[in-house]
Amino acid sequence: MKPDRERMLREMGLGPVWKLRVPPAAVPVGQAATAQPAAAPPLAEAVPAIVPVPDSAFVAPSGAMGWEELAATVAACRQCRLCAARKQAVLGVGDRNADWLFVGEGPGAEEDARGEPFVGQAGKLLDNMLAAIGLKRGADVYIANAVKCRPPENRTPAPEEIAACSPYLVRQIELIRPKLIVALGRPAAQTLLQTDVRIGAARGRLHDYRGVPLVVSYHPAYLLRSPQDKARAWEDLCLMRRTMQERKGT
């Protein structure tokens, strides 16, 4: 393995695929990629295509809606059943003028409690992945989710829940105007690309979201369970970094 690649994988908390460096119980939270939680539900491989909600069911945020109004609208949203069990809606976190936008699936229990995306185990891995390409949460990076409210039992959000919530993500993207969007996992990719994508087929190349390059990659929670795909995740990080460098002319 090239030293650069090895260093990056270490930053991501991803050791060599063939070697478990420490027993799972002893893995520090920030390096949990080699640990495989026994009962973690599979992420989203069976997510059906997105079903748009009827126009009458939703008043989309207008092009004039700024961050404060958007945050208040999301906080009070009752457009789908996910509002019933949430502690709070989780809008997103980070630099509202970021060049980088990462989009996950939906808040889990810790995110629901704290009101910030990716603060649990998968979030620690995401932070390590960001560090691997010289990025830091909040510094030129914004992190959001396809749905803003926690799906009960951490299930995959249903197509109608994603459809009800996606106007908020659309408005966030309009406000942030990122140079690159990264869709982490299948629900995020489907939401943004509006097609029934599979990660294996969609990753490794550039997509287009309304003129903004979009890279599809594995969800960090999936990588925690499936370290055999860590090398592909590394390739995706390289594609992201290269794409951003090209966009910035650096």
Provide the mask over 77-116, with x wherever binding to ligand URA is found by CB under 6 A and - wherever it is not.
Answer: ---------------------------xxxxx--x-----
Other CB atoms within 10 Å distance of the CB of residue 140:
16
In angstroms, the CA 147 to CA 161 distance is: 7
Cβ within 8 Å of residue 40, ≥6 positions away: 221, 224, 225
Cβ closest to ligand URA, residue 61 vs residue 117: 117
Q: What is the DSSP string of 5-16?
A: HHHHHHHTT---
Provide the mask over 184-223, with x wherever binding to ligand URA is found by CB under 6 A and - wherever it is not.
Answer: -------------------------------------x--
In 3D space, the residue among 226, 143, 133, 153 whose CA is nearest the CA of residue 188 turns out to be 143
Cβ closest to ligand URA, residue 5 vs residue 86: 86
Cβ within 8 Å of residue 200, ≥6 positions away: none
Per CB under 6 A, the segment of 15-23, 25-33, 61-69, 119-127 that binds ligand URA is: 119-127
Interaction of residue 236 with ligand URA, rule CB under 6 A: no
Please identify the residue of the shown chain whose CB is closest to the bound ligand URA. Answer: 104
**Which of the residues 26 through 45 are near ligand URA (CB under 6 A)?**
none
Q: Please select the residue that binds ligand URA; options are 15, 117, 159, 167, rule is CB under 6 A.
A: 117
Terminal Cα distance for the chain, rounded? 26
Cβ closest to ligand URA, residue 46 vs residue 64: 46
Cβ within 8 Å of residue 185, ≥6 positions away: 43, 44, 104, 105, 199, 218, 219, 221, 222
Cβ closest to ligand URA, residue 15 vs residue 104: 104
* Nearest approach, Cβ of residue 21 and ligand URA (Å): 24
DSSP-based three-state secondary structure for 194: coil
Question: Interface residues with ligand URA (CB under 6 A)?
Answer: 104-108, 111, 117-118, 120, 122-123, 145, 221
